[in-house]
Structure 1
Amino acid sequence: MLTVTSVLFVLFAVSSAQQLTFTHHAVLDPNEKFQLNWNPATDGSDYFTFECVVATRGWLGLGFSSNGAMAAADMVIAWVDASGNPQISDRHGPAQGNGYPPADIKQDYELISGRKNDTHTIITFRRKQDTCDPQDWKITSDTTRLIWAYNDQVPTSADDISKHTERGVKSVQLVNPQTKDGMATILADPRTVTYDLRITNVTLPTDKRTLYWCEIIELPTWNKHHIIANRMMVQKGNERYVHHLVVYGCGEEDMSEHLGKPAACFDDTQVFSPMQMCTDYHAVWAVGGEDFVYPSNMGAPIFGNSKQRFVLLEMHYDNPDLTP
């Protein structure tokens, strides 16, 4: 049984900036062997910084694709050579179909560092959000399909890169603007109150790769507060199954009859009926998203209205390998 996910609301007010080494993280493969950390650009002419942590001692590849295929994709391949020196190569997919990705005429990926140990290779590099190179992918706020690959064979040169032994695709939101207010500062403020929304244990089906799961939750009777931040809490080990979350407010609808009756939001015969009545957004999160913090002079009201007692928690799980 997979006990997966919840969202934490941070209530009340304030704070200041917090700098993190990497603000974003995603596990790209079902076996957690290819992990990606990154910092988005602050504007369209700035750099994205990426760190690939991959369970290989050979080469690793990361690509940006419109549809998850190699054709016309923007790719970077990196490795640590036999002398211990990190190497990087800016490449692109063939115009059509799959095939060996040739090197770009203009190399726009800048190596920052690279190292490997007995089990993993770690490569850090950067590139501009828009390189103005027709062979590169302009990173936008749209969901990006990241293609990934690796092989345990160490290339002898950029012209000697063997075919991947493992590959896959993952949809990720790379551009998720960070506010100047830090979650750590907010949580350290003694005036802050936290409230957790936790979904009941969910067993993922093994006959279909995706599941939308919904549960009605009754809010406590509190005085009026304001949501000033929220954080996704995914049970460790289940990150690869969680795709996105939405928390809806149900207005003044009485949803008592649905308490304790979580169910699939959509199936072949019907729509989970509470979804038709709960339409106010309280929180939204998707793969690649991190803590969301409101600007210090803003917040979303919650509690305080005895008629607005219920929220709907919608989870989207993704299980492409149909793992039990």
Structure 2
Amino acid sequence: MRLCTASSIILWLLVVHKSDEISSPLQPYTIYRYSTELQHNVADLWWTINETQEEITFELHIKTTGWIALGISPAGGMRGADIGLGWVDEGGEVHFQDRYASGTSRPTIDNTTTDWFALSGREQNGWTAIQFKRSLDTCDEMDVSIKSGTNNLIFAYGLEDPDMSRSDGLIFYHENRRGSRIIPLQSYGNPPSEEKFSDLDYFEFKLNNQIVPAVESSYHCKVFKAPTNFSQRRHAIARKTIIEPNNRDLVHHLGLLECNPTAIFDDNNLPDGICDEIIASIFQCFKSVASIWAVGGDEIVEYPEIGGYPVGGDFEIKYYMLQMHYNNPKLIPNRRDSSGVRFYLGKQLRQYELGYLSIGADVSYSAIAIPSGVDRFILDCYCPSEATQNFSEPVITILAACPHTHLQGRSVWTKLIRNKKVVEYLFNAEAYDFNYQFENLLPKPIQLYPGDELATRCIYSTTDKTDITLGGERTKDEMCLHYFLYYPRMKDFSSCLSSISEEAWKKIMNISESTFDDEQLGKWLKRLKWTPELVVEWQRFYNNASRSVQAGDFELINLTKIPEYEDLQPSTCHTNIPNSAMNQN
């Protein structure tokens, strides 16, 4: 399993460490709610959302004296992107343009409506800083709306100002001066100081001078025993991801997983090695997430005052697994790393304990079998009311969401269904990138009740693969999971995972044997030859096949197919068009 590699656990009322990564020597024009470094020592971004006006204010700083641009992209590239582009001329005047990219060529000026508006700008010390705003939804077909969930941001800059003597406002090609990030624009926070926790007890899980393989990408897994020096239960109120300063270019993501409470290990010989090589000894350590971090993520997390992460005493989790993903593209040998994670313990227990709920597909061949060479394959999962009736609490409150697939995943969403009608998205990662996964603060906490239903969809692209992709924990395998951070923590209900039923597989395989297992299924699947006709048939099979649902430790639930439900109605677009205070040419 690859963790929900994320900007660390972002919670309701949570504050997150971000501002110390800012490179710009220029002070922003105002105090913003969110900020992030887009590219080290090159580009920084601040933003605040005005929910009443339904608009967002950005401030972009880039190390150049030419033009700078920020775009909202539907799929992560230039095609279809909605772009705000600006510069400061020699006289100090700010220019700003609303542009649209129909392809990968130079974006054109949007002359239909102007929806990006500059507020302030300056050029100083080799940097250009421009403050600007736009509506969350401009109601313009040439724009991209900023939705609750993940957003694809692109940025670029040039070394010179555009040529305004031309009617098209010629901008010179940015070459490699560009980048992209997937960011939940409505789901960020502001930093606490680590000094706030300096007088607290803590425990940590770290590697010990681990040699990093001289390969481009590697995963290291190490099992740790839970701390035994806390005889009474304690609550962690904050967490720090520890990345060695010299290895920031090396550590791509890390995460701490809870091992199954029934897992048994030799404490004198705990599993430690390349994840795929020791998978047989760590398969019980994919129960749930305890901590996550990824490139561009937040290193310090403070949990909301209402809840804490439990440890010690009679807490059921006795082992954890630290999973490290190293990115070593230069294949540098003999590099060593001691990164890990630290938990700060509060002096008092909090009202609730935090837990994770895993919703989606079982991690098996019977749940996930994706044809090769397809641009879009849909996998639907369902957690029915018969499952959530087993909640041990009358209500649980969802604080944050972490969508998770492996390399082929392109989109993940989960909808809350009540009385066969969709109430809302729990979270919609319409734009998903394995390299930039986020645990996302929900705009507002969402309550789940026994009897509620959850529909999860994962969308994959396998155009870069020539063989079938099956469900599993290895990097080349796939997953479809949505982790939800919630309170109060339930002991017997940590997951609700579905798969294609045994009966459905036997029917399509045309077999009647009483015995049936993943190994037998895997051999059959790997013999399939993918034609366009078979791909269409396969998608139809997945759309209509009966399902088996395993919810927590309870009995298997059988569904004749994914149930039908009344979906959300399209929202009516409305916007407040602001007046510009700056030159928009």
Q: Is this a same-fold pair by TM over 0.5?
A: yes
The aligned counterpart of 2:105 is: 99
Q: CA, structure 1 residues 40+304, in 2 after alignment: closer, same or farther (shift >3 Å)?
A: farther
Query: Which structure 2 residues correspond to residues 1-324 of structure 1 after superposition, within 5 A?
Result: 21-22=31-32, 24-29=34-39, 32-39=40-47, 41=49, 43=51, 46-94=54-102, 97-104=103-110, 105-157=112-164, 159-175=169-185, 177=187, 183-184=192-193, 188=196, 192-200=200-208, 208=216, 210-221=217-228, 222=230, 223-236=232-245, 243-252=252-261, 253-255=263-265, 256=267, 259=270, 261-263=272-274, 265-266=275-276, 271=279, 273-287=281-295, 289-290=297-298, 291-305=300-314, 308-317=317-326, 322=330, 324=332
SS in structure 2 of the partner of residue 188 of structure 1? helix
Q: CA, structure 1 residues 54+112, in 2 after alignment: closer, same or farther (shift >3 Å)?
A: same
Q: CA, structure 1 residues 35+149, in 2 after alignment: closer, same or farther (shift >3 Å)?
A: same
Which structure has the greater CA radius of gyration? 2
Q: Is the 8 A contact 2:154 2:179 kept in 1?
A: yes
Q: Is the 8 A contact 1:130 1:139 kept in 2?
A: yes
- Whole-angstrom distance in 2 between the partners of 1:258 and 1:116: 59
Q: Is the 8 A contact 2:271 2:282 kept in 1?
A: no
Q: Is the 8 A contact 2:84 2:98 kept in 1?
A: yes
SS in structure 1 of the partner of residue 289 of structure 2? strand
- State the superposition RMSD in angstroms: 4.0
Q: Is the 8 A contact 1:217 1:310 kept in 2?
A: yes
> How high is the sequence identity, in percent, across the aligned residues?
27
- Structure 1 residue 274, shift from structure 2 partner: 1.8
Q: Deviations over 1:12-65 (max 9, x none)?
A: xx99999x8455444444xx3433333353649633333333221111222222
- Structure 1 residue 151, shift from structure 2 partner: 1.3
SS in structure 1 of the partner of residue 282 of structure 2? helix
Q: Is the 8 A contact 1:110 1:126 kept in 2?
A: yes
The aligned counterpart of 1:3 is: none
Q: Deviations over 1:239-268 (max 9, x none)?
A: 5665544321114324436648243x34xx
- Structure 1 residue 189, shift from structure 2 partner: 6.7
- Structure 1 residue 298, shift from structure 2 partner: 1.6
Normalised to the residue count of structure 2, the TM-score between the two structures is: 0.44
- Whole-angstrom distance in 2 between the partners of 1:313 and 1:176: 29
Higher RCO (CA 8 Å, separation ≥ 6 residues): 1
SS in structure 1 of the partner of residue 323 of structure 2? strand
Moved more, 285-294 or 71-80: 285-294
- Structure 1 residue 153, shift from structure 2 partner: 0.9
- Whole-angstrom distance in 1 between the partners of 2:67 and 2:307: 46
Q: CA, structure 1 residues 16+135, in 2 after alignment: closer, same or farther (shift >3 Å)?
A: closer
- Whole-angstrom distance in 2 between the partners of 1:272 and 1:78: 55
Q: Is the 8 A contact 1:173 1:289 kept in 2?
A: no
Normalised to the residue count of structure 1, the TM-score between the two structures is: 0.73
Q: Is the 8 A contact 2:255 2:293 kept in 1?
A: yes
Q: Higher helix fraction: Structure 1 or Structure 2?
A: 2
- Whole-angstrom distance in 1 between the partners of 2:212 and 2:63: 27
Q: Is the 8 A contact 2:16 2:301 kept in 1?
A: no
Structure 1 unaligned segments of length 5 or more: list them.
1-6
SS in structure 1 of the partner of residue 255 of structure 2? strand
